[in-house]
Structure 1
Amino acid sequence: MPQTPFNWACPYCGQSTTITYVNFDSGTIEFNITKSDNSDYNLSAEAISCPNPECGKTLVEATFWKNGFKETSGRKKWKAIKALNKWPLLPRSSAKPMPHFVPEEIRSNYEEACLIQNDSPKASATMSRRCLQGIVRDFWNIPASKMGNLGAEISYIRDRIDEDTFESIKAVREVGDIGAHMEKSVDTIVDVEPEEAALLIELIETLVLDWYVAKHRRANRNKQLQDTVAAKRSAKKASKVNMKQIEDQSDK
Protein backbone atom coordinates (compact mmCIF):
# COMPACT_ATOMS: atom_id res chain seq x y z
CA MET A 1 0.00 0.00 0.00
CA PRO A 2 1.33 3.46 -0.85
CA GLN A 3 2.52 5.81 1.83
CA THR A 4 1.15 9.35 1.71
CA PRO A 5 1.87 11.74 0.16
CA PHE A 6 2.01 10.33 -3.38
CA ASN A 7 1.29 11.58 -6.89
CA TRP A 8 -2.00 10.50 -8.46
CA ALA A 9 -4.15 11.18 -11.52
CA CYS A 10 -7.92 11.06 -11.03
CA PRO A 11 -9.61 8.51 -13.33
CA TYR A 12 -12.77 10.64 -13.37
CA CYS A 13 -11.58 14.16 -14.15
CA GLY A 14 -8.04 13.37 -15.31
CA GLN A 15 -6.44 15.98 -13.04
CA SER A 16 -2.98 15.19 -11.65
CA THR A 17 -2.58 15.92 -7.95
CA THR A 18 -0.85 14.91 -4.71
CA ILE A 19 -2.74 12.66 -2.31
CA THR A 20 -2.26 13.10 1.45
CA TYR A 21 -3.74 11.20 4.38
CA VAL A 22 -6.79 13.47 4.25
CA ASN A 23 -7.87 11.94 0.93
CA PHE A 24 -6.61 8.37 1.45
CA ASP A 25 -7.59 5.40 3.58
CA SER A 26 -6.89 1.65 3.50
CA GLY A 27 -7.68 -1.51 5.40
CA THR A 28 -6.85 -5.22 5.44
CA ILE A 29 -8.77 -8.37 6.37
CA GLU A 30 -6.62 -11.38 7.34
CA PHE A 31 -7.72 -14.92 6.43
CA ASN A 32 -5.79 -17.26 8.73
CA ILE A 33 -7.59 -20.38 7.57
CA THR A 34 -4.97 -22.89 8.71
CA LYS A 35 -1.35 -22.94 9.79
CA SER A 36 -0.38 -24.17 6.34
CA ASP A 37 1.79 -21.87 4.23
CA ASN A 38 -0.44 -22.34 1.19
CA SER A 39 -3.72 -21.23 2.71
CA ASP A 40 -3.00 -17.92 4.37
CA TYR A 41 -4.32 -14.83 2.59
CA ASN A 42 -5.48 -11.27 3.10
CA LEU A 43 -7.80 -8.89 1.32
CA SER A 44 -6.75 -5.25 1.20
CA ALA A 45 -8.76 -2.24 0.07
CA GLU A 46 -7.76 1.33 -0.71
CA ALA A 47 -9.93 4.41 -1.13
CA ILE A 48 -8.95 7.78 -2.57
CA SER A 49 -11.13 10.86 -2.90
CA CYS A 50 -10.24 13.39 -5.59
CA PRO A 51 -9.16 16.72 -4.02
CA ASN A 52 -10.45 18.62 -7.06
CA PRO A 53 -13.50 20.54 -5.72
CA GLU A 54 -15.15 20.25 -9.12
CA CYS A 55 -14.87 16.44 -8.97
CA GLY A 56 -14.62 14.99 -5.44
CA LYS A 57 -15.35 11.44 -6.65
CA THR A 58 -13.99 8.34 -4.94
CA LEU A 59 -11.75 5.55 -6.22
CA VAL A 60 -11.91 2.17 -4.45
CA GLU A 61 -9.74 -0.87 -5.29
CA ALA A 62 -9.46 -4.30 -3.65
CA THR A 63 -6.53 -6.73 -3.87
CA PHE A 64 -6.39 -10.40 -2.81
CA TRP A 65 -2.95 -11.38 -1.53
CA LYS A 66 -1.04 -14.60 -0.84
CA ASN A 67 0.92 -14.36 2.39
CA GLY A 68 4.37 -15.78 3.06
CA PHE A 69 7.75 -15.07 4.56
CA LYS A 70 9.63 -12.09 3.16
CA GLU A 71 13.11 -11.05 4.26
CA THR A 72 13.38 -7.40 5.25
CA SER A 73 16.56 -5.91 6.74
CA GLY A 74 17.91 -9.39 7.43
CA ARG A 75 14.74 -10.57 9.20
CA LYS A 76 11.96 -12.77 7.84
CA LYS A 77 8.49 -11.39 8.25
CA TRP A 78 5.14 -13.00 7.50
CA LYS A 79 3.36 -10.63 5.11
CA ALA A 80 1.58 -10.29 1.79
CA ILE A 81 4.01 -11.35 -0.92
CA LYS A 82 1.97 -11.96 -4.07
CA ALA A 83 -1.12 -10.27 -5.49
CA LEU A 84 -3.44 -13.02 -6.75
CA ASN A 85 -6.19 -10.76 -8.06
CA LYS A 86 -7.15 -7.12 -8.16
CA TRP A 87 -10.56 -5.52 -8.64
CA PRO A 88 -11.44 -1.90 -9.44
CA LEU A 89 -14.66 -1.21 -7.53
CA LEU A 90 -15.09 2.52 -8.16
CA PRO A 91 -14.82 3.27 -11.03
CA ARG A 92 -15.38 -0.20 -12.46
CA SER A 93 -12.71 0.12 -15.13
CA SER A 94 -9.40 1.87 -15.78
CA ALA A 95 -10.87 3.89 -18.65
CA LYS A 96 -9.48 7.42 -18.77
CA PRO A 97 -11.85 10.34 -19.33
CA MET A 98 -12.01 11.14 -23.04
CA PRO A 99 -12.67 14.63 -24.46
CA HIS A 100 -16.18 15.47 -25.59
CA PHE A 101 -15.00 16.06 -29.17
CA VAL A 102 -14.19 12.34 -29.57
CA PRO A 103 -17.29 10.65 -31.07
CA GLU A 104 -19.58 8.92 -28.57
CA GLU A 105 -19.33 5.51 -30.26
CA ILE A 106 -15.54 5.54 -30.00
CA ARG A 107 -15.69 6.53 -26.33
CA SER A 108 -18.26 3.81 -25.63
CA ASN A 109 -16.20 1.07 -27.32
CA TYR A 110 -13.07 2.21 -25.49
CA GLU A 111 -14.81 2.15 -22.10
CA GLU A 112 -16.14 -1.37 -22.76
CA ALA A 113 -12.68 -2.59 -23.80
CA CYS A 114 -11.31 -1.29 -20.48
CA LEU A 115 -14.18 -2.75 -18.47
CA ILE A 116 -13.65 -6.36 -19.67
CA GLN A 117 -9.87 -6.24 -20.03
CA ASN A 118 -9.17 -8.67 -17.18
CA ASP A 119 -12.33 -10.78 -17.28
CA SER A 120 -12.29 -11.35 -21.05
CA PRO A 121 -9.08 -10.15 -22.72
CA LYS A 122 -10.11 -11.64 -26.07
CA ALA A 123 -13.40 -9.73 -26.07
CA SER A 124 -11.55 -6.61 -24.92
CA ALA A 125 -9.18 -6.93 -27.89
CA THR A 126 -12.21 -7.18 -30.17
CA MET A 127 -13.65 -3.97 -28.75
CA SER A 128 -10.28 -2.24 -29.18
CA ARG A 129 -10.31 -3.35 -32.81
CA ARG A 130 -13.80 -1.90 -33.25
CA CYS A 131 -12.69 1.29 -31.53
CA LEU A 132 -9.67 1.50 -33.83
CA GLN A 133 -11.82 1.16 -36.93
CA GLY A 134 -14.10 3.93 -35.68
CA ILE A 135 -11.10 6.21 -35.08
CA VAL A 136 -9.59 5.54 -38.51
CA ARG A 137 -12.88 6.11 -40.32
CA ASP A 138 -13.83 9.26 -38.43
CA PHE A 139 -10.50 11.06 -38.08
CA TRP A 140 -9.22 10.38 -41.59
CA ASN A 141 -12.62 10.73 -43.29
CA ILE A 142 -12.44 7.37 -45.04
CA PRO A 143 -14.70 7.57 -48.13
CA ALA A 144 -17.66 5.21 -48.28
CA SER A 145 -16.12 3.43 -51.26
CA LYS A 146 -13.12 2.42 -49.12
CA MET A 147 -15.08 1.32 -46.04
CA GLY A 148 -15.68 -2.28 -45.09
CA ASN A 149 -12.40 -4.08 -44.52
CA LEU A 150 -10.28 -2.67 -41.70
CA GLY A 151 -7.07 -3.86 -43.36
CA ALA A 152 -7.92 -1.90 -46.52
CA GLU A 153 -8.90 1.16 -44.49
CA ILE A 154 -5.56 1.10 -42.67
CA SER A 155 -3.68 0.73 -45.97
CA TYR A 156 -5.60 3.73 -47.31
CA ILE A 157 -4.00 6.02 -44.68
CA ARG A 158 -0.56 4.41 -44.67
CA ASP A 159 1.14 7.34 -46.44
CA ARG A 160 -0.44 9.82 -44.02
CA ILE A 161 0.94 8.37 -40.75
CA ASP A 162 4.40 7.41 -39.49
CA GLU A 163 5.66 3.84 -39.84
CA ASP A 164 5.66 3.06 -36.09
CA THR A 165 2.02 4.10 -35.76
CA PHE A 166 1.09 2.12 -38.86
CA GLU A 167 2.71 -1.07 -37.50
CA SER A 168 1.06 -0.59 -34.09
CA ILE A 169 -2.34 -0.12 -35.71
CA LYS A 170 -1.80 -3.31 -37.71
CA ALA A 171 -1.04 -5.13 -34.45
CA VAL A 172 -4.32 -3.98 -32.90
CA ARG A 173 -6.19 -5.22 -35.97
CA GLU A 174 -4.44 -8.59 -35.95
CA VAL A 175 -4.87 -9.24 -32.22
CA GLY A 176 -8.45 -7.99 -32.38
CA ASP A 177 -9.12 -10.40 -35.25
CA ILE A 178 -8.48 -13.28 -32.84
CA GLY A 179 -11.64 -12.39 -30.97
CA ALA A 180 -13.61 -11.21 -33.98
CA HIS A 181 -13.09 -14.25 -36.22
CA MET A 182 -13.05 -17.95 -35.38
CA GLU A 183 -10.02 -19.95 -36.46
CA LYS A 184 -10.55 -22.35 -39.36
CA SER A 185 -9.80 -25.23 -37.03
CA VAL A 186 -12.05 -25.23 -33.96
CA ASP A 187 -9.31 -27.12 -32.13
CA THR A 188 -6.94 -24.18 -32.51
CA ILE A 189 -7.12 -21.95 -29.44
CA VAL A 190 -5.37 -18.58 -29.52
CA ASP A 191 -5.58 -16.70 -26.25
CA VAL A 192 -5.17 -13.01 -25.57
CA GLU A 193 -3.59 -12.19 -22.22
CA PRO A 194 -4.79 -9.26 -20.06
CA GLU A 195 -1.41 -7.57 -20.53
CA GLU A 196 -1.81 -7.79 -24.32
CA ALA A 197 -5.33 -6.37 -24.12
CA ALA A 198 -3.90 -3.52 -22.01
CA LEU A 199 -1.34 -2.71 -24.72
CA LEU A 200 -4.12 -2.37 -27.29
CA ILE A 201 -6.04 -0.05 -24.97
CA GLU A 202 -2.92 2.07 -24.46
CA LEU A 203 -2.55 2.46 -28.22
CA ILE A 204 -6.16 3.65 -28.50
CA GLU A 205 -5.42 6.24 -25.80
CA THR A 206 -2.25 7.30 -27.64
CA LEU A 207 -4.10 7.73 -30.95
CA VAL A 208 -6.74 9.87 -29.26
CA LEU A 209 -4.01 12.12 -27.81
CA ASP A 210 -1.87 12.26 -30.95
CA TRP A 211 -4.76 12.77 -33.35
CA TYR A 212 -7.91 14.18 -31.75
CA VAL A 213 -6.42 16.15 -28.86
CA ALA A 214 -3.50 17.50 -30.90
CA LYS A 215 -5.87 18.59 -33.69
CA HIS A 216 -8.22 20.25 -31.18
CA ARG A 217 -5.35 22.13 -29.51
CA ARG A 218 -3.97 23.20 -32.88
CA ALA A 219 -7.39 24.50 -33.96
CA ASN A 220 -7.77 26.45 -30.68
CA ARG A 221 -4.27 27.89 -31.00
CA ASN A 222 -4.88 28.96 -34.59
CA LYS A 223 -8.21 30.56 -33.64
CA GLN A 224 -6.57 32.49 -30.80
CA LEU A 225 -3.86 33.71 -33.17
CA GLN A 226 -6.43 34.75 -35.79
CA ASP A 227 -8.53 36.52 -33.15
CA THR A 228 -5.42 38.34 -31.90
CA VAL A 229 -4.49 39.48 -35.40
CA ALA A 230 -8.09 40.60 -36.07
CA ALA A 231 -8.12 42.59 -32.80
CA LYS A 232 -4.80 44.24 -33.67
CA ARG A 233 -6.06 45.17 -37.15
CA SER A 234 -9.25 46.61 -35.66
CA ALA A 235 -7.25 48.64 -33.13
CA LYS A 236 -4.91 49.88 -35.87
CA LYS A 237 -7.86 50.89 -38.04
CA ALA A 238 -9.53 52.67 -35.12
CA SER A 239 -6.26 54.48 -34.37
CA LYS A 240 -6.02 55.74 -37.97
CA VAL A 241 -9.62 57.01 -37.81
CA ASN A 242 -8.89 58.86 -34.56
CA MET A 243 -5.74 60.42 -36.00
CA LYS A 244 -7.65 61.53 -39.11
CA GLN A 245 -10.34 63.15 -36.93
CA ILE A 246 -7.67 64.97 -34.90
CA GLU A 247 -5.96 66.22 -38.07
CA ASP A 248 -9.30 67.43 -39.51
CA GLN A 249 -10.08 69.34 -36.32
CA SER A 250 -6.63 70.97 -36.26
CA ASP A 251 -7.05 72.21 -39.84
CA LYS A 252 -10.22 74.14 -38.96
Structure 2
Amino acid sequence: MPVKPKNSVIAERLESLLASTKRSAHNVKLGSNWTCPYCRHAQVVSAERIHDVDSELEVHGSRLTTPYLRVTAVVCANDQCRELTLSAGLSSIVVAKTPVGTHRHVRRPGKSWTLLPPSTAKPQPDCVPEPLRADYAEACAIRDLSPKASATIIRRCLQGMIRDFCGIKKGRLIDEIKELRALVEAGNAPRGVQHDSVDAIDHVRGIGNIGAHMEKDINTIIDVDPDEAQRLIELTEMLFEEWYEARHRREQRLQQIGAIAAEKAQAKAAPKAGEP
Protein backbone atom coordinates (compact mmCIF):
# COMPACT_ATOMS: atom_id res chain seq x y z
CA MET A 1 0.00 0.00 0.00
CA PRO A 2 1.50 3.39 -0.96
CA VAL A 3 2.67 5.59 1.89
CA LYS A 4 1.14 9.05 1.97
CA PRO A 5 3.55 11.97 1.99
CA LYS A 6 4.15 13.43 5.44
CA ASN A 7 2.74 16.80 4.39
CA SER A 8 -0.47 15.13 3.23
CA VAL A 9 -0.87 13.34 6.57
CA ILE A 10 -0.45 16.63 8.46
CA ALA A 11 -3.08 18.28 6.27
CA GLU A 12 -5.55 15.42 6.86
CA ARG A 13 -5.04 15.62 10.62
CA LEU A 14 -5.75 19.34 10.57
CA GLU A 15 -8.90 18.78 8.50
CA SER A 16 -9.97 16.05 10.94
CA LEU A 17 -9.41 18.42 13.87
CA LEU A 18 -11.47 21.09 12.12
CA ALA A 19 -14.35 18.65 11.57
CA SER A 20 -14.26 17.33 15.14
CA THR A 21 -14.30 20.78 16.70
CA LYS A 22 -17.24 21.77 14.51
CA ARG A 23 -19.13 18.62 15.52
CA SER A 24 -18.43 19.17 19.21
CA ALA A 25 -19.44 22.82 19.14
CA HIS A 26 -22.88 21.77 20.32
CA ASN A 27 -24.19 18.64 21.98
CA VAL A 28 -26.98 18.37 19.41
CA LYS A 29 -26.11 17.06 15.97
CA LEU A 30 -27.78 15.20 13.14
CA GLY A 31 -28.63 11.60 14.11
CA SER A 32 -27.90 12.07 17.80
CA ASN A 33 -30.18 11.04 20.64
CA TRP A 34 -31.79 14.18 22.06
CA THR A 35 -34.39 14.93 24.72
CA CYS A 36 -36.62 17.95 24.20
CA PRO A 37 -36.20 20.40 27.12
CA TYR A 38 -39.88 21.39 26.85
CA CYS A 39 -41.76 18.07 26.86
CA ARG A 40 -38.91 15.64 27.81
CA HIS A 41 -39.69 13.53 24.71
CA ALA A 42 -36.66 11.42 23.69
CA GLN A 43 -35.97 11.33 19.96
CA VAL A 44 -33.35 11.02 17.23
CA VAL A 45 -32.55 14.33 15.53
CA SER A 46 -33.47 14.22 11.84
CA ALA A 47 -32.15 16.44 9.05
CA GLU A 48 -35.36 18.44 8.62
CA ARG A 49 -35.50 19.33 12.33
CA ILE A 50 -32.00 20.73 12.90
CA HIS A 51 -30.23 23.68 11.31
CA ASP A 52 -26.77 25.14 12.01
CA VAL A 53 -25.66 28.61 11.01
CA ASP A 54 -21.91 29.29 11.13
CA SER A 55 -20.62 32.83 10.92
CA GLU A 56 -17.11 34.28 10.99
CA LEU A 57 -17.52 37.68 12.65
CA GLU A 58 -15.63 40.30 10.69
CA VAL A 59 -14.67 42.61 13.53
CA HIS A 60 -11.25 43.96 14.43
CA GLY A 61 -9.56 44.57 17.76
CA SER A 62 -11.20 41.67 19.63
CA ARG A 63 -9.19 39.62 22.11
CA LEU A 64 -10.55 36.59 20.30
CA THR A 65 -8.58 35.70 17.19
CA THR A 66 -11.31 36.03 14.55
CA PRO A 67 -14.54 35.39 16.54
CA TYR A 68 -16.66 32.54 15.20
CA LEU A 69 -20.34 32.06 16.03
CA ARG A 70 -22.46 28.96 15.58
CA VAL A 71 -26.22 29.02 16.13
CA THR A 72 -28.13 25.72 16.30
CA ALA A 73 -31.90 25.38 15.98
CA VAL A 74 -33.77 22.14 16.75
CA VAL A 75 -37.51 21.51 16.52
CA CYS A 76 -39.15 18.84 18.68
CA ALA A 77 -40.64 15.93 16.72
CA ASN A 78 -43.45 15.45 19.24
CA ASP A 79 -46.64 16.64 17.50
CA GLN A 80 -48.03 17.84 20.83
CA CYS A 81 -44.94 20.01 21.43
CA ARG A 82 -43.08 21.14 18.25
CA GLU A 83 -41.23 23.80 20.26
CA LEU A 84 -38.02 25.42 19.02
CA THR A 85 -34.76 24.99 20.92
CA LEU A 86 -32.12 27.57 20.06
CA SER A 87 -28.49 27.66 21.23
CA ALA A 88 -25.35 29.63 20.38
CA GLY A 89 -21.65 29.00 20.81
CA LEU A 90 -18.83 31.55 20.51
CA SER A 91 -15.33 30.36 19.64
CA SER A 92 -12.41 31.61 17.57
CA ILE A 93 -10.58 30.65 14.41
CA VAL A 94 -6.92 29.77 14.84
CA VAL A 95 -4.45 29.93 11.99
CA ALA A 96 -1.82 27.20 11.90
CA LYS A 97 1.15 27.22 9.54
CA THR A 98 2.39 23.85 8.30
CA PRO A 99 4.84 22.71 5.65
CA VAL A 100 1.94 22.36 3.22
CA GLY A 101 0.56 25.82 3.82
CA THR A 102 -1.66 27.79 6.17
CA HIS A 103 -4.70 26.10 7.70
CA ARG A 104 -7.50 27.48 9.79
CA HIS A 105 -9.46 25.56 12.41
CA VAL A 106 -12.20 26.44 14.87
CA ARG A 107 -11.52 26.10 18.57
CA ARG A 108 -14.06 24.51 20.87
CA PRO A 109 -16.64 27.09 22.03
CA GLY A 110 -15.32 29.25 24.83
CA LYS A 111 -18.83 30.37 25.70
CA SER A 112 -22.23 28.87 24.95
CA TRP A 113 -25.79 29.96 25.62
CA THR A 114 -29.20 28.37 25.48
CA LEU A 115 -31.48 31.03 24.01
CA LEU A 116 -34.68 28.95 23.88
CA PRO A 117 -36.12 27.71 26.15
CA PRO A 118 -35.19 30.49 28.60
CA SER A 119 -34.13 27.95 31.25
CA THR A 120 -33.49 24.25 31.79
CA ALA A 121 -36.49 23.87 34.10
CA LYS A 122 -38.50 20.71 33.47
CA PRO A 123 -42.30 20.97 33.38
CA GLN A 124 -43.65 20.13 36.85
CA PRO A 125 -47.15 18.78 37.52
CA ASP A 126 -49.88 20.74 39.27
CA CYS A 127 -49.60 18.48 42.34
CA VAL A 128 -46.45 20.46 43.18
CA PRO A 129 -47.55 23.78 44.77
CA GLU A 130 -47.18 26.77 42.48
CA PRO A 131 -44.80 28.76 44.77
CA LEU A 132 -42.40 25.79 44.81
CA ARG A 133 -42.59 25.45 41.04
CA ALA A 134 -41.88 29.18 40.69
CA ASP A 135 -38.79 28.99 42.93
CA TYR A 136 -37.54 25.93 41.04
CA ALA A 137 -38.02 27.65 37.65
CA GLU A 138 -36.20 30.78 38.86
CA ALA A 139 -33.27 28.73 40.19
CA CYS A 140 -32.97 27.02 36.80
CA ALA A 141 -33.17 30.34 34.94
CA ILE A 142 -30.23 31.91 36.81
CA ARG A 143 -28.09 28.78 37.27
CA ASP A 144 -25.40 29.92 34.83
CA LEU A 145 -25.70 33.64 35.49
CA SER A 146 -25.44 33.36 39.30
CA PRO A 147 -24.93 29.83 40.67
CA LYS A 148 -24.77 31.10 44.26
CA ALA A 149 -28.13 32.82 43.92
CA SER A 150 -29.54 29.69 42.29
CA ALA A 151 -28.38 27.59 45.25
CA THR A 152 -29.97 30.08 47.66
CA ILE A 153 -33.33 29.85 45.87
CA ILE A 154 -33.15 26.04 45.91
CA ARG A 155 -32.53 26.25 49.66
CA ARG A 156 -35.70 28.36 49.99
CA CYS A 157 -37.62 25.91 47.78
CA LEU A 158 -36.60 22.92 49.92
CA GLN A 159 -37.60 24.78 53.08
CA GLY A 160 -41.00 25.37 51.50
CA MET A 161 -41.27 21.65 50.79
CA ILE A 162 -40.56 20.79 54.42
CA ARG A 163 -43.21 23.25 55.56
CA ASP A 164 -45.84 22.19 53.02
CA PHE A 165 -45.30 18.44 52.57
CA CYS A 166 -44.02 17.61 56.05
CA GLY A 167 -46.03 20.17 58.01
CA ILE A 168 -43.01 21.45 59.97
CA LYS A 169 -42.87 25.21 60.45
CA LYS A 170 -40.21 26.79 62.62
CA GLY A 171 -38.21 29.98 62.45
CA ARG A 172 -35.02 28.49 61.02
CA LEU A 173 -34.40 25.84 58.39
CA ILE A 174 -31.84 24.10 60.58
CA ASP A 175 -34.47 23.59 63.29
CA GLU A 176 -36.99 22.29 60.74
CA ILE A 177 -34.43 19.79 59.46
CA LYS A 178 -33.73 18.60 63.01
CA GLU A 179 -37.42 17.96 63.64
CA LEU A 180 -37.81 16.21 60.30
CA ARG A 181 -34.82 14.00 61.08
CA ALA A 182 -36.38 13.09 64.43
CA LEU A 183 -39.63 12.13 62.68
CA VAL A 184 -37.74 9.91 60.23
CA GLU A 185 -35.84 8.17 63.03
CA ALA A 186 -39.09 7.59 64.94
CA GLY A 187 -40.80 6.24 61.82
CA ASN A 188 -43.38 9.06 61.82
CA ALA A 189 -42.22 11.02 58.75
CA PRO A 190 -44.54 11.43 55.77
CA ARG A 191 -44.43 8.63 53.22
CA GLY A 192 -41.45 9.01 50.88
CA VAL A 193 -39.23 11.01 53.26
CA GLN A 194 -36.02 9.04 53.84
CA HIS A 195 -32.85 9.49 55.91
CA ASP A 196 -30.69 10.18 52.85
CA SER A 197 -33.04 12.85 51.50
CA VAL A 198 -32.97 14.66 54.87
CA ASP A 199 -29.16 14.51 54.81
CA ALA A 200 -29.16 15.95 51.28
CA ILE A 201 -31.47 18.80 52.30
CA ASP A 202 -29.12 19.60 55.17
CA HIS A 203 -26.22 19.74 52.72
CA VAL A 204 -28.20 22.15 50.52
CA ARG A 205 -28.85 24.32 53.57
CA GLY A 206 -25.09 24.73 54.02
CA ILE A 207 -24.46 25.41 50.33
CA GLY A 208 -27.37 27.83 50.10
CA ASN A 209 -25.99 29.72 53.10
CA ILE A 210 -22.97 30.64 50.96
CA GLY A 211 -25.21 32.81 48.82
CA ALA A 212 -27.45 33.99 51.64
CA HIS A 213 -24.83 35.11 54.17
CA MET A 214 -21.47 36.88 53.94
CA GLU A 215 -18.52 35.05 55.49
CA LYS A 216 -17.13 36.53 58.72
CA ASP A 217 -13.93 37.28 56.83
CA ILE A 218 -15.11 39.11 53.71
CA ASN A 219 -11.86 38.18 51.98
CA THR A 220 -12.84 34.51 52.19
CA ILE A 221 -14.52 33.65 48.90
CA ILE A 222 -16.40 30.36 48.63
CA ASP A 223 -17.87 29.95 45.20
CA VAL A 224 -20.59 27.74 43.76
CA ASP A 225 -20.21 26.78 40.12
CA PRO A 226 -23.05 26.05 37.65
CA ASP A 227 -22.50 22.28 37.78
CA GLU A 228 -22.85 22.30 41.57
CA ALA A 229 -25.99 24.41 41.33
CA GLN A 230 -27.34 21.89 38.80
CA ARG A 231 -26.87 19.05 41.31
CA LEU A 232 -29.05 20.96 43.78
CA ILE A 233 -31.66 21.51 41.09
CA GLU A 234 -31.66 17.79 40.34
CA LEU A 235 -32.18 17.01 44.03
CA THR A 236 -35.24 19.27 44.01
CA GLU A 237 -36.58 17.48 40.93
CA MET A 238 -36.04 14.13 42.63
CA LEU A 239 -37.91 15.21 45.77
CA PHE A 240 -40.76 16.64 43.70
CA GLU A 241 -41.12 13.18 42.21
CA GLU A 242 -40.57 11.14 45.39
CA TRP A 243 -42.79 13.32 47.57
CA TYR A 244 -45.48 15.11 45.59
CA GLU A 245 -45.80 13.04 42.43
CA ALA A 246 -45.62 9.69 44.26
CA ARG A 247 -48.29 10.85 46.72
CA HIS A 248 -50.48 12.08 43.86
CA ARG A 249 -50.16 8.79 41.94
CA ARG A 250 -50.99 6.81 45.09
CA GLU A 251 -54.08 8.94 45.77
CA GLN A 252 -55.24 8.52 42.18
CA ARG A 253 -54.85 4.75 42.28
CA LEU A 254 -56.70 4.47 45.57
CA GLN A 255 -59.49 6.67 44.22
CA GLN A 256 -59.74 4.44 41.16
CA ILE A 257 -60.01 1.35 43.36
CA GLY A 258 -62.71 3.07 45.43
CA ALA A 259 -64.62 4.03 42.28
CA ILE A 260 -64.47 0.46 40.98
CA ALA A 261 -65.68 -0.92 44.32
CA ALA A 262 -68.56 1.57 44.42
CA GLU A 263 -69.55 0.68 40.85
CA LYS A 264 -69.57 -3.06 41.65
CA ALA A 265 -71.56 -2.51 44.83
CA GLN A 266 -74.12 -0.47 42.92
CA ALA A 267 -74.39 -3.17 40.25
CA LYS A 268 -74.81 -5.83 42.91
CA ALA A 269 -77.57 -3.90 44.67
CA ALA A 270 -79.48 -3.16 41.45
CA PRO A 271 -82.63 -5.35 40.99
CA LYS A 272 -82.24 -8.14 38.46
CA ALA A 273 -84.46 -8.38 35.41
CA GLY A 274 -87.91 -9.70 36.35
CA GLU A 275 -87.56 -8.85 40.03
CA PRO A 276 -89.94 -6.28 41.59
TM-score, normalised to structure 1, is 0.82
For residues 32 and 102 of structure 1, do their structure 2 counterparts lie closer, same or farther at Cα, with a shift above 3 Å needed? Answer: same
For residues 229 and 67 of structure 1, do their structure 2 counterparts lie closer, same or farther at Cα, with a shift above 3 Å needed? Answer: farther
Q: Name the count of aligned residue pairs.
A: 233
The match for 1:181 is 213
Cα deviation 1:91-121 (Å, max 9, x = unaligned): 1111111112211211111111111111111
- SS in structure 2 at match of 1:54: coil
**Is 1:45 aligned with 2:71?**
yes
Measure, in 1, the Cα distance between the counterparts of 2:250 and 2:74: 34
The match for 2:243 is 211
CA contact (8 A) 2:151 2:229 kept: yes
Quick one: which of 103, 108, 116 aligns to 2:134? Answer: 108
What's the offset of the Cα at 1:79? 4.0
What's the offset of the Cα at 1:7? 3.3
- SS in structure 2 at match of 1:225: helix
What's the offset of the Cα at 1:64? 1.7
Cα deviation 1:173-216 (Å, max 9, x = unaligned): 11000001111122211111111111111111111111111111
Measure, in 1, the Cα distance between the counterparts of 2:120 and 2:39: 13
Measure, in 1, the Cα distance between the counterparts of 2:76 and 2:53: 19
The match for 2:172 is 149
Superposition map of 1:53-132 within 5 A: 53-67=79-93, 79-132=105-158
CA contact (8 A) 1:33 1:39 kept: no
What's the offset of the Cα at 1:67? 4.9
Q: Which amino acid aligns with 1:213?
A: E
Measure, in 2, the Cα distance between the counterparts of 1:154 and 1:90: 37
Measure, in 2, the Cα distance between the counterparts of 1:226 and 1:244: 30
The match for 1:242 is 272
The match for 2:20 is none
For residues 227 and 195 of structure 1, do their structure 2 counterparts lie closer, same or farther at Cα, with a shift above 3 Å needed? Answer: same
CA contact (8 A) 1:47 1:61 kept: yes
CA contact (8 A) 1:67 1:82 kept: no
The match for 2:222 is 190
Q: Which amino acid aligns with 2:49?
A: N
For residues 125 and 237 of structure 1, do their structure 2 counterparts lie closer, same or farther at Cα, with a shift above 3 Å needed? Answer: same
Measure, in 2, the Cα distance between the counterparts of 1:188 and 1:152: 27
Measure, in 2, the Cα distance between the counterparts of 1:226 and 1:67: 67
Quick one: which of 260, 263, 268 aligns to 1:228? Answer: 260
Measure, in 1, the Cα distance between the counterparts of 2:226 and 2:91: 19
CA contact (8 A) 1:110 1:201 kept: yes
What's the offset of the Cα at 1:8? 3.0
What's the offset of the Cα at 1:85? 1.4
- SS in structure 1 at match of 2:109: strand
Superposition map of 1:165-180 within 5 A: 165-180=197-212
**Is 1:24 aligned with 2:35?**
no
Give the share of equivalent positions with the same residue, in percent.
40
What's the offset of the Cα at 1:56? 2.4
Measure, in 2, the Cα distance between the counterparts of 1:122 and 1:61: 24
- SS in structure 2 at match of 1:212: helix
What's the offset of the Cα at 1:55? 2.6
RMSD over aligned Cα, in angstroms?
A: 2.6
- SS in structure 1 at match of 2:167: coil
Specify which structure has the higher proportion of strand: 1
CA contact (8 A) 2:29 2:45 kept: no
Measure, in 1, the Cα distance between the counterparts of 2:143 and 2:29: 28
Mind listing any 5+ residue stretches in structure 2 that lack a counterpart?
Answer: 1-25, 96-102
> Which segment drifts farther, 38-47 or 82-91?
38-47
